[in-house]
Structure 1
Amino acid sequence: MLLSLHFSFLPLRFSLFTLRFTGGGVFFRMEGVSRVAPWFIGNRQAIEGLERALVPGHRARGAHAFLFFGPEEVGKCRIALTLTRTLLDQVDEPGEPEEGFAHPDFLVVAAAGDAGKRPLIGIEQARMVRSFLASTPFTAARKVVLIDGAEYFSVEAANALLKTLEEPPDESVLFLIAHETARVLPTIRSRTLSVRFALVSDEELRLGLIARGYSRDAADEAVSLADGKPGRALRLLGDAAALVTFRRRREAVLKLLSASRLERFAFVARAAKTDSTAFRLLPQWWMPVLRNIISTGVAEKRRRAVLMLRGLFEADRLLSTTNANPELILETALMNGASSSILNSQS
């Protein structure tokens, strides 16, 4: 079922957002024309609608808790911080927020956990959010909470926040950040407005980087490594060491594409002896390179990349959701890519 909400302001009229009611909660698609964050690359329509939805005094009923979801490094937290600064400081034209933005009426809660273990947002953090929102604002007209890692709520913590999400204190706003809505508890999804942030096309990303003053060659290389993620592209352009690291990853993938099965087994065995956390991240590091090869490479190399990418998708899922042996998972992923006759085989 769809419900379009419209607001009229002389002399302009615009559609605020379209609500779609589904079994998993409420999803809304924004429509609008205002330019809220000109420095931001991609997802313009969502950002413009969000700012309209959060203009003080003109929010739709119930538009107080938002679930931003989508891939990493597409700007979900950056936009949440920009909107937070607007809500708290009444900035009409917010610029890019500074690192470490802080305000007495702003609380950040992030999932945390020991290395190698699943992060968690526990009951104590949920109680902290409730206590923070229950108190009177210090200097602003409202309070804002940003919860980074909404997919990591424990059931106990989620239950403790349900009433806050349903009936928050007046004028309070909550931004929940997640990479996948499927991993967010249904009780949380059903009480928030979901806003999808998508990967950015190569051309839009390239133009955005050039508009920021980067050369065409620098932008092209960053785009080839960024996998449609503006945050990653900007990080690479601003960090020479990170750029070198990504170049090495690309070289490693290119070698693996033409490697035999025995060579791939040997690579996994060597990699498994290094840092365990880095080893588990290998699929995430390699997939952007493979996607770029698929979109720009020659036909034979594209076919090899597709096979490897399929295996790495499954490996990344298993590494993040199971306790299976990481070395065995990666071996299987790479062998799936090497099983075709288009790859050299020494077995």
Structure 2
Amino acid sequence: MHTLWQLEIAALKGIITTLYMETRMSNDLNKNDVQKLILSLLKPDPRKAKSAAELVKLIDVSRLHKFSKKDQKQEDDVLEKQAQRRVLRILDDMIDKLIYGVEELPTKPRTFYLKNQTDYSSLLQILYGLNSNIVMHLPAEERSEIELLDSRQMPNSVALWQQKIYVGRSGFCHRAEADPEIIRVIYKAVESEQFVEFDYQTSTGKRSTLEAFPWGILLKGDSCYLVANPHDSGKPWPVTYALHRVKNPKFTNRLTENAPGRPQDKNHFQQFCKERQLDLFANEDDAEIQLQLRFINGKGRSLHETVLAADQQIVPINSKEFRLKATVKNCFELHRFILGYGADVEVESPLRLRELIAEKLKAAATIY
């Protein structure tokens, strides 16, 4: 169905003229014609909603007075009121049927606007654009339709959904705040594919100034990271930089064409993040291992749904224990995950990981 509300005012007038030409032989407008006129004149923005009286003026009362059962020589104001009642009845009927998406604006009695039918789909489109994994949270019909959405159909209703969706913290800590101006420069550098120079302080306090080519943005929970390749790294892969630790970013004049350290093609960044498991902060030296854990005290039940790997296997031992096997990266994130379970998990294999976790737990016990 063509979305008439997207047309410009001039085009709307053209529609009215066309409808008039189509109906002038009968010198009358039927209900379907009036519905089309109303839909074309309604706006998707509630702030620009129109009342029945406004619609009557836009449609032209002289074309609606044919609905009057009384003498057509009545005063114009009487005919206008009758036309308004006719429009209200049509709007009420459209609302009852819920087929055109016309809604009554609650803050202004008897004022109507055209509800955009793709509000929810457009929000999903935005989320899908950020992360294709959002598909797993969609109903079957949306899964097949979301890739067909046209960005030109995106409504100005994101603010509405911002009032309906709450994004909580991914952990106990509040997220680190990045300066809006820093965000603007970094995002512009990513978008325009320009080298950017900035000051950076690592989590251990080491400070440096570097120039890098930005590959993209990594979102991990509440945190945001710049993925960029330092100009003088001599390596083909990038590094992650927490955006809240970036200071004084600025563009440089270094040419980007054929510059070393750039992604191989437009899909390389996504492929790199997925294959390297960059969201786990894994590096090139982190090997895949055959992990075997024993969970006790009834812990770890959520791992039935939030799996560690595609080949994960869970074998019950008794009512409060189970054994988990999975092929995973032996990386920082895995160590932190295991340590987070404390005394409720035992690393059974590989042996080197078991020894590493034992050393960390012994060191922690020594402190206490």
TM-score, scaled relative to structure 2: 0.24
TM-score, scaled relative to structure 1: 0.25
Q: Give the structure with the higher percent helix.
A: 1
Q: Give the structure with the higher percent strand.
A: 2
RCO higher in structure (CA 8 A, sep ≥6): 1
